[in-house]
Amino acid sequence: MTVEIRIPTVLRPAVGGQSVVKADGETIGELLASLAGEYPAIAGQVIGSDGTMHRFVNIYLNDDDVRYLSKLDTKVAEGDVVSILPAVAGGSDSLPHRQ
Amino acid sequence: MGVLKISRELITRMISHALDEYPLEACGLLGGDAEVAKEVYPARNDAASARVYTLNPLDHLRADRAAEAAGHGIIGVYHSHTHSEAYPSQTDVAQAPDPGWHYVLVSLKRRYPVVRSYRIEAGTIVEEDVVEL
């Protein structure tokens, strides 16, 4: 089935500048494989060389973080929306010298 | 030099959020178009720490949707430094997710809050002007 995938700004250059793309698959993993087949530049930015999700990317199926579902094996259904979001973190734990 | 254009109201909301969360770091997202901030979206700091923050992913998703519904996008992130200057830390630089974003720091180190904005690309920090709308 075809499912809509929302792409964050940082990854849009890898998909021709689009904010939303469509991909085919029965699971999150299949969708991402389909996406990577069409847009090879996005391949390594979402899935690591070990085949698991990058820790600095969050993937949502509708309102649910797929890490708390079945990760890449999470099933998708017609009408679902998948959102890829960059993990956002930081902090003040160390301060570089001002240039 | 780049610029972040933002209203005093939105700046005040970021400072208020930082003060509310003190002594923990506060974080949130900026919605808008390119260099113009139109909204701030406070988020939960999953790290619940005075030294680091991890922006709650579900809050990120909700902010992303809200920005889109308003006809905008997410253009940056803000967070507070409770005991250090409004300058990106090595952690901020290492974990900056998007070179196109504005990185706003709210420092509570001094008597009055200090708000500054930066671009972070490939490990390079460039401060930009914060212009009140």
Task: Quote ipTM for the complex.
Answer: 0.93
Q: Which of A10, A88, A96 sits opposite B100 (nearest CB)?
A: A10
- Residue A48: is its pLDDT beyond 90? no
Residues of B in contact with A85 (CB under 8 A): 57, 60-61, 64
- Residue A99: is its pLDDT beyond 70? no
Residue A95: inside a domain: no
Q: What pLDDT is attached to residue B52?
A: 93
Residue A18: inside a domain: yes
Residue A57: inside a domain: yes
> Could you tell me the residue ranges of all domains in chain B?
3-132
- Chain A residue closest in CA terms to B79: A91
Q: CA of A14, closest CA in chain B: separation in Å?
A: 13
Question: CA A56 to CA A33: how far, in whole Å?
Answer: 18
Q: What pLDDT is attached to residue A95?
A: 45
Q: Which domain holds residue A15?
A: 2-86
The whole-chain average pLDDT of chain B stands at 96
Q: What secondary structure letter does DSSP report for A46?
A: H
Question: CA A25 to CA A36: how far, in whole Å?
Answer: 12
Residue A98: inside a domain: no
Architecture of domain B3-132: 3-Layer(aba) Sandwich (3.40)
Q: Environment class of residue A37 by beta-carbon count within 10 Å: exposed (0-12), middle (13-18) or buried (19+)?
A: exposed
Q: CA of A90, closest CA in chain B: separation in Å?
A: 4
| B7 close contact with A: CB closer than 8 A | no
Domain count, chain A: 1
pLDDT tens digits for range B20-77: 999 999 999 999 999 999 999 999 999 999 999 999 999 999 999 999 999 999 999 9
CB atoms within 10 A of CB B69: 9
- Residue A94: is its pLDDT beyond 60? no
| B25 close contact with A: CB closer than 8 A | yes
Q: What pLDDT is attached to residue A97?
A: 41
Residue A49: inside a domain: yes
Q: How confident is the model at residue A98 (pLDDT cuts 50, 70, 90)?
A: very low
User: In this structure, what CATH number is given to the domain that contains residue A79?
Assistant: 3.10.20.30
Mutate to test the interface with B, among A6, A68, A92, A97 (most CBs of B within 10 A): A92
Residue A91: inside a domain: no
Residue A12: inside a domain: yes
pLDDT tens digits for range A3-31: 999 999 999 999 999 999 999 999 999 99
